[in-house]
Structure 1
């Protein structure tokens, strides 16, 4: 995965619209379909939990299918890009302790993956205005740069394509 320039205000604007639309659709469809099911199949004891749950599940499926169909539209470009970036970072995060240990032992591939991970975190945190942990991220990057100097590895965030995990 390559890092691409993302317009922060456009990303936030489109993300907010997607979230609001999902909330409205979830609320409307889940309530509407649950009420329809309750009307068609009334329960004498008054418990309609299963119909309400069915309505929520139906609404979630509709939202998932819709998002999957529109993910490649220009409006969704930034939102979908950040979603994929978060997926990549999550995969790396699960193996972070192993990668750090391997990087300390001189494994250049682990260093490249961690370098991508740190650059991705920085980009993501800046897009989401999460600057609280930037200092900690700088410490991690300096540690990685020390390993790279020690083992003569040139760090390049474009060396990682995501298929190496």
Structure 2
């Protein structure tokens, strides 16, 4: 995965519209589905909890399917990019203990992974206005930059390949 420049304003605007559409869709679909099922099978005495729950589950599946179908649409570009970025960062985070041990041993691949991780986290936190942890992340990124400089390496986020995670 390559880091791309994302327009924060456009990303937030599109994300807010998609979230609103999902909320409205979930409400309308779940109420419609559960009301229809209750109308068709109502015995007048039982609880409708499980029917309502099923309506929410079915509505969630429908909305998830719609989002998956339109993930490649230009309107969804920034949202899909951030979603994919979060998945990659989660994969790296799950292996971070082993990767950090390898970074301490000056493993170049591990350094490339963590360099990408820090730069991607900074981009993600900036896009999501998560500035609380940004300062500690910048400190860790600066430490890694010093290590890269001391090893006379040239590292770029373009060096990162998802398949390199399999080594850790």
- Report the TM-score, using the length of structure 1 for normalisation: 0.94
Shift of 1:149: 3.6
Shift of 1:133: 1.5
Aligned to 2:143: 143
Aligned to 1:69: 69
Rounded Cα–Cα distance in structure 2 between residues aligned with 1:62 and 1:36: 16
Aligned to 1:41: 41
Aligned to 2:158: 158
Farther-moved stretch of structure 1 (55-64 vs 40-49): 40-49
RMSD, aligned α-carbons: 1.3
Rounded Cα–Cα distance in structure 2 between residues aligned with 1:152 and 1:98: 23
Map 1:1-165 to 2 at 5 A.
1-165=1-165
Contact kept in structure 2, 1:104 and 1:147, CA below 8 Å: no
Q: How many pairs does the alignment contain?
A: 165
| Runs of at least 5 residues in structure 2 that lack an aligned partner in the other structure | none
- Report the TM-score, using the length of structure 2 for normalisation: 0.93
Rounded Cα–Cα distance in structure 2 between residues aligned with 1:109 and 1:44: 65
